[in-house]
Each structure stands twice: as C-alpha cells, then as structure tokens.
Amino acid sequence: MPSTEVLSWLRTRFMPHIWCPGCGHGVIMHSIIRALISLEKDKTKTVLASGIGCSSRMAGYINANTLHSTHGRSLAFSTGIKMFNPELTVVDVMGDGDCSAIGGNHFIHACRRNIDITAVVMNNNIYGMTGGQASPTTPVGAWATTAPWGVVDPAFDICKLAEGAGASYVARSTIANPKQAESFIKNGIKNKGFSVVEIVTHCHTQFGRKNNRKLPIDNYNFFKDASVPLTKAKTMTSEELAGKIVVGEFVDKKTPEYTEQYKKVIEKAQRG
C-alpha cells in the first residue's frame, strides 16, 4: 500500500487503472511521485504532460496539473506551458514510440533548445496499446505484430539520441531498480535544462509473451541481469556489451536554458 503522501499525489477516483496487472508503468509512476515528494514540489505548480499510449495514461492518475495531449506532441504542449510560466515544474512522460517515432522531431528539438523540462521516457520496446507493432527501440530480431519474422531495423539508443541532440541531463535506469530511477528523475528535475531519463520497462502482454519473457517477473529478472553500470561498461568491449542495458548518468552539464535566453530576447526587444 502506498504511503499517505504518495496517495495524495494520486487521483484514486480513477482507480483501478487500465494497465495490465504487472505492467512496469506503475513502478515508474511511483518513482516519479516519490521524486516529486522528495523535492518538496507543490502540486499546484507541477505539470505532468503526456501523449498517447499506455504510459500516457499516467497524466490521468497523477494528482497535479495534467495534460493528456496527442500522439508524439506532448513536448510541444510542455514547451508552450513552460514558455508561458517558467516557474512551473514540467515533467513530460512518454513511451518509446511517442518519443522517438511520432514525436521524434519534437524530442530532438527540445533537447537542442535545452528547455527546462524533464522527459521521462518509458521504453518497453513496443507499441503496447495499439497491439504490439515494432517501435524504433524494438531490438533487431525481436518479434512484433508488424515484424512476425523478426525486426530488421536497427534500434535507436534513446540516451545517445538525447545526448547527440544536446540535452543537458541524460540518464538511464530500469524498473528493476526503482530507487535508482527515482534518484535520476530527481536529478533530472533539479537540472536547469532539458533532462531525459529513460527507464527501461516491459510490456509482457504485447512484447514479453512473444519474446521469451512471458511474465512480468521474467522481464524484471531480465533487466536485473542485463543491467551494467556505466563505470563498468566503460571497461567492456562492444561484444561484451551486446544485449546489455547500460545504466547510469551519461550527461550532466550546465548549458544556457531556453526560457532564460528567451527572456533576454524579450527584454532586448522591449528596450528597442
């Protein structure tokens, strides 16, 4: 049973949730809420935006200012919210397809601008809600309804994509380590800039049952066994890292934040 404090961040009137029993999204929602509590965030000044997909239902369950927007476009909405009121804490939750396919353009440009938003990317390697189609992070060779003989397209590495596009904080964890996920989300929110926290999770219903990880616990154990801390990964060869999940903080740098830069432009324009 969640603590009273965690419960106060949940819209319990909307329970039971729509997620399949054992889905990793609940673990991530708990990590997000715990991070917000630990940073002593005010619900009235916290915004959680989402796009479309199973993960995006989170915007309905978290008791803050929430927005359930259109597929792949949540970062456009979040950007508008942050530009209107830079004092708000904005967390944008998205799935892997939402982030890197339909919303790929919004994602790379949010990284490039370094706007002070925290993107929590729930990467379960599949489009779960719509029936198990391959996403840009489905591993090569994996089964998907759109790839019944195995995926051929090489998968995106969300963290490398975010780093290359200019995000100032980039980290990865898995649902097998929710405390670590919480701490990365917390660091992402604290960062004054665009933060990307990828949390590797599972869709046992649409991905696991067809890819030898049928039960939620099979996925949990897989993530636990496959996780390699960044410090150790640096000593390993690419062959040794094949099939592993490198976890840790990849980027943590100070670069000019977008709303602050924009404010200077407004002041300059007002001076004439």
Which CB atom, from 100 or from 259, has the smaller least distance to ligand SF4? Answer: 100
Question: With CB under 6 A, what is the number of residues at the site for ligand SF4?
Answer: 12
**For the chain, what is the largest distance between any 2 Cα atoms, rounded to a whole number of angstroms?**
64
Decide if residue 206 touches ligand SF4 (CB under 6 A). yes
**Is residue 133 within 8 Å of 144, Cβ to Cβ?**
yes
| Cβ at position 80, least distance to ligand SF4 in Å | 28
Helix axes 74-84, 258-271, angle to 10 degrees: 50
Decide if residue 25 touches ligand SF4 (CB under 6 A). yes
| Cβ at position 235, least distance to ligand SF4 in Å | 34
| Cβ at position 203, least distance to ligand SF4 in Å | 3
Beta strand extents in 27-177 (DSSP E only): 46-50, 65-68, 89-95, 118-123, 169-174
| Cβ at position 216, least distance to ligand SF4 in Å | 8
Decide if residue 204 touches ligand SF4 (CB under 6 A). yes
Q: How far is CA 125 from CA 40, 99, 142, in A?
A: 32, 12, 10
In the block, tokens 């790839």 appear at 147
Decide if residue 211 touches ligand SF4 (CB under 6 A). no
Binding footprint of ligand SF4 on the chain (CB under 6 A): 19-20, 23, 25, 54, 124, 128-129, 203-206
